[in-house]
Amino acid sequence: MDCRDAFIGWSAARRQESLYRIVNNTRFLVLPFVQVPNLASWLLSRNVRRLPEDWQTLYAHRPVLLETFVEADRFTAACYRAANWMRLGTTRGRGKYDRYKRRAQPVKAVLVYPLNKHFRRILCHG
């Protein structure tokens, strides 16, 4: 997650303290037989507007940044870009628990969406 961490500008210690303020979008799929123009980006935009308040209600804190990972070899992430998500770079393909530094996972594009214009200040300084 070097590209995300560089984008935010936080230290390893601060990342440990503030990572809970980032929400990861793990899966997003519109099946190919659904033919509605701009549906994916429309859904993502609606989700972005709704999520902070819902998260506050459920977990008693408001996230400041959304992130997602898109398999770079299989998908273009066009719906995320159309919904104003920013592409920061790619993962190394090692996975979360790789202790041996071997590429075992697909390389994924890292995309983020700031929910607060002061997200860097909040994540880096609390």
Report the predicted TM-score, pTM, of the whole model to 2 decimal places: 0.87
Q: What's the pLDDT score for residue 106? A: 87
Q: What's the pLDDT score for residue 101? A: 61
32-51: pLDDT as tens digits:
899 999 999 999 999 999 99
**For residue 36, what are the β-bridge partners?**
none
Q: What's the pLDDT score for residue 79? A: 92
Low-confidence ranges of the chain (pLDDT < 50): none
**CATH code of the domain covering residue 43:** 3.40.630
Contact between 96 and 58 under an 8 Å Cβ cutoff? The reply is: no
Which strands make up the sheet holding 22-25, listed edge to edge? 22-25, 65-71, 108-114, 86-90
Q: With CA atoms as reference, report the closest residue to 22 among 61, 80, 79.
A: 61
Position 78, amino acid: A
Q: What is the residue whose two structure tokens read 């601060």?
A: 14
| 75 token code pair | 């998908």
How many structural domains are present in the chain? 1
Domain membership of residue 83 as a residue range: 2-125
